[in-house]
Amino acid sequence: MDSIVKELLEENVGKVIENEPLSKHTTIKIGGPADIFIEPNSVESIKKSIEIVKKHGIEWRAIGRGSNLLVSDKGIEGAVIKLGNGINHLEIEGTTLTVGAGYSVVSLAVQIARKGLSGLEFSSGIPGSIGGAVYMNAGAHGSDISKVLTKAHILFNDGSMEWLSNEEMEYSYRTSVLQKQRPGIVVEATFQLTEGDKAEISAVMKKNKEYRRDTQPWDLPCAGSIFRNPLPNYAGQLVEKSGLKGYSIGGAKISEMHGNFIVNAGNAKAQDVLDLIQYVKEKIYSLHGVKMETEVEIIGRM
């Protein structure tokens, strides 16, 4: 690993750390170490980092701000590339935005609201990055990324880069083409918004933020929604009907505020969360005959 780290540093790609605990980089504050942790300082540095890592035969994966992510206690083999502070540019031309993948979703919603631009009000409480939101078609309050995205700049596993249109992203509920047919990472995205009334936009965002604050456990580390909604049912309601709110295994606990959230109630391990997820799946299937699928992405050495 020393030779790879040396080469990355010589190329000045950004921050490079060996054996970095990923608990520092996930919203649930869980996760073992990455063999190599890279935080590139530009889009070009992302490409250069991947070129070097692949040349040495090392596996890699990208993360954003670490929401909707559960990293195993054993960590991640190979390199982890975090799209963060170096990939957080924002360009506004009229009602069109081009945003770096590392830009905070919440910060973006606030910034554009001040300019009277409408279309991202639904995202005002989503605790993640633009890259992750575009990758998984994040949504809330009856809307989602697919409603406003024009195109996304994608870095594919072979190192090639391409802009994909909204149609080419093949969006569906919390899913895009990047999770299945064409694995890749979002490095930036373009959105088409509309002009609106600043006061009205702010009022909607305030209402959405208050709803999240009143119904979701943001006072404790969590990864966001754990399960996909098995429509026409809702995951949180099924958990509540099953009497599972507050149920815990180790340091992992089902939130008493919202059944679709598992919180780190104190030194939780990834295995605690995985065991709790499995318990919920089995319980809900036995009581309601519904198969639950996880929305949170589970990665790392198992």
Tell me the pLDDT of the chain (302 aa) as tens digits: 788 999 999 999 999 999 999 999 999 999 999 999 999 999 899 999 999 999 999 999 888 888 889 999 999 999 999 998 889 999 999 999 999 999 999 899 999 999 999 999 998 878 789 999 999 998 888 899 999 999 999 988 787 899 999 999 999 988 999 987 888 889 999 999 999 999 999 899 888 888 878 888 878 999 989 999 998 999 999 999 999 999 999 999 999 999 999 999 999 999 999 999 999 999 999 999 999 999 999 999 98
Q: What torsion, rounded to 10 degrees, do the Cα atoms 257, 262, 264, 269 define?
A: 160
Question: Catalytic residue at 225?
Answer: yes
| Fold of the 2-86 domain | 3.30.43
Name the pairing type of β-strands 33-40 and 76-82: parallel
The single residue of 7, 39, 121, 295 carrying the catalytic annotation is 295
**Given 174, 176, 188, 242, which residue is catalytic?**
174
**Which of the listed CATH numbers 3.60.20.10, 3.20.180.10, 3.20.19.10, 3.90.78.10 matches domain 217-299?**
3.90.78.10
Task: Measure the CA–CA gap between 265 and 255, rounded to whole angstroms.
Answer: 9
Catalytic residue among 123, 129, 225, 242: 225
Q: Is the Cβ–Cβ distance between 9 and 16 less than 8 Å? A: yes
SS3 26: coil
Q: Give the global pTM.
A: 0.86
Q: Which fold has domain 88-200?
A: 3.30.465
Q: What is the C-alpha to C-alpha distance for residues 236 and 225, in angstroms, rounded to an integer?
A: 9
Dihedral over alpha carbons 213, 25, 134, 153 (to 10 degrees):
150
Sorted by where each begins, the domain ranges of the chain are 2-86, 88-200, 217-299
